[in-house]
Amino acid sequence: MLVHSFTTERLLIRPLLEEDEDFFSRQYSNKKVMRHNGGALTPLEANKAFFRSLKANHRAISGGKKSVITWTIICKNSHSIIGTQTFSFLIRPHNAKIMSQVAMDETKQAEIGIVLCPKANGKLFPEEAMGALMEYGFTYLYFDKINAFYASKNLATKRFVKKLGFVFNSALQDEPLKNSYQYAKRNEWHQKWIRRVC
C-alpha cells in the first residue's frame, strides 16, 4: 500500500517518521491534550505507543496487515509539528452493533482521529487537516465510509466534524450517550482540501 504525503493551503501532512518521537511522546502524555482522547499516557507508555504506530505504518506501507496509519501534521508557515492524525482499520468498527455482518464485509471503511497541540487551537487547523485526510481516504484509499468516534463532551470535535459533513444518526448512538458516532460517505463527499500529493 502506498501511503502519500500531501499538502493543503497551510499544512504538510506526511506519514509518521522516527524523528517525530519527541513530539508524539510529549503530546500523548499531555493531560490537557488527551483529556477527551482516553486520558494521558505515562511518558513510557507514550514512547511505546509511538513505536507501535511507527511499526504499523511500516507494515501498511510494505503491504502487510493494516491496523492504523498515522500522519504527522506540519504547519507550512512555522515548519513545526502541530499534531497527528490516523486512519484505524478495525475488525469491528464502533458502529458494528447496528451494521449487519454483510454490510461490514462489503463496506470499505476506517475510523479517523486527530490530536492537535494547544498552539494549533482556534486556527481552523482540525477542519483543514481532517478534511484533507478524508479527501485522501476517499480518493486514494477508496474508502466507502469514514467514521468518527469521540467523547460526546468534546464540543470542539462535534463542531468541526459537523462542518466536514459527518452525519449524526441518533439510532446509531450508544446509551448512555458518553461517546458520539458519526460517519461520512464517499458518494456524499464534495470538499476539496488537498493542493498536492507527493
User: pLDDT by residue (tens digit) across 2-49?
Assistant: 789 999 999 999 999 999 999 999 999 999 999 988 899 999 999 999
In a domain, 166, yes or no: yes
Q: What's the whole-number mean pLDDT along residues 84-93? A: 80
pLDDT value of position 91 = 58
* pLDDT single digits (tens) 95-127: 555 455 545 556 799 999 999 999 999 999 999
DSSP classification of residue 143: -
In a domain, 57, yes or no: yes
Average pLDDT, the chain: 89
**Which candidate, 108, 104, 100, 111, places its Cα nearest to that of 149?**
111
pLDDT value of position 102 = 47
**CA of residue 159 relative to chain centroid, distance:** 16
User: Given CA atoms 170, 173, 177, 181 in this order, what sign does their dihedral have?
Assistant: negative
* CATH number of the CATH domain containing 100: 3.40.630.30
**CA of residue 169 relative to chain centroid, distance:** 20
* pLDDT single digits (tens) 171-181: 677 666 788 88
In a domain, 176, yes or no: yes
Query: How many CA atoms lie within 13 Å of 12's alpha carbon, on the beta-carbon side?
Result: 13
Residue position matching grid coordinates 507514550: 46
Number of helices (H), then strands (E), belonging to the chain: the values are 6, 9
Measured CA to CA, the distance from residue 90 to residue 109 in angstroms comes to 9
pLDDT value of position 176 = 66
* pLDDT single digits (tens) 64-74: 888 899 999 99
In a domain, 120, yes or no: yes
Q: Is 112 exposed, middle or buried (0-12, 13-18, 19+ CB in 10 A)?
A: buried
In terms of pLDDT, which residue wins out, 126 or 93?
A: 126
Question: Residue 151's pLDDT band (boundaries 50, 70, 90)?
Answer: confident
In a domain, 1, yes or no: no
Beta strand pairing status for 109-116 and 145-151? parallel
Q: Which three cell numbers stand for residue 186?
A: 464517499
In a domain, 131, yes or no: yes
**Distances from the Cα of 13 to the Cαs of 3, 39, 76, 177, in angstroms?**
11, 25, 10, 32
What's the total number of domains in the chain?
A: 1
pTM over 0.85: yes
Q: 137 lies in which domain range?
A: 6-197
Q: What's the whole-number mean pLDDT along residues 124-135? A: 98
Contacts of 99 (CB under 8 A, 6+ apart): 93, 107
